[in-house]
Structure formats: C-alpha cells, structure tokens
Amino acid sequence: MMRSERDKKKRGKIIPNESFQGFVEKPLWGLNIVELAGHNLEAHGREEVNRLLQSGWLLLHIYTLKYPEDGVWRERPMAILGRPKDGREQPGKESR
C-alpha cells in the first residue's frame, strides 16, 4: 500500500512546540555564546538537550555523526547547543 501525498509531506516537516523561538538572524559571534555543548539526540541525551533548551540554551546545529564500528558504518543524530552570556545554567547542573 502506497502512502498518500499528504502523509509524505507531513512526514518531512518539523512542527515546533510553543516554546520555539524561531530563527535568529545574527552571525554566531553576535549571539554572545560563552559555552558550547554537543549531545547525542538518542535516549538520555535527548532528555538533557530538552532540559538545556528549557533553561535558555540555544540550539545551534543538528547533524548526523557517521562512524565505523566493527566494520559497519553507524549513524547517530547529534546536536550542538550554545549558552548565551546572560548567566543561564551550565550543562550537568540540575534545574531548581
């Protein structure tokens, strides 16, 4: 059974939640980023990324890490986040 055109179009879209702030039209050096963090987007890493985003970190880039393991090429989704200079929390610290 073939998927409908609507399903094909819907599958490729990213639908942001209410907290999505949109795109920032500044160069990276203009964002006053004081700390960078890279995280795996699978399992526990996704929870940490969501926590950082809720605490004010910015999502700067999403990419696929490709690496050989036991003779097989693997892929892992990764994210790079940046902490703005305005004193928001650091990775690994719990929100209070």
At 30-54, the pLDDT tens digits run 888 899 999 999 877 888 999 999 9
Backbone angle region of 34, left / alpha / beta, with phi > 0 → left and psi within -120 to 50 → alpha: alpha
∠25-35-79 over CA atoms, to 5°? 70
Q: What is the pTM for the complete model shown?
A: 0.62
At 8-27, the pLDDT tens digits run 444 444 444 455 556 667 77
Write down the pLDDT at residue 96.
Answer: 38
Query: Which residues, listed in sequence order, are joined to residue 66 by a DSSP beta bridge?
Result: 75
What phi, psi does 31 have (nearest 5°)? -90, -5
At 54-86, the pLDDT tens digits run 999 999 999 999 999 999 999 999 999 999 987
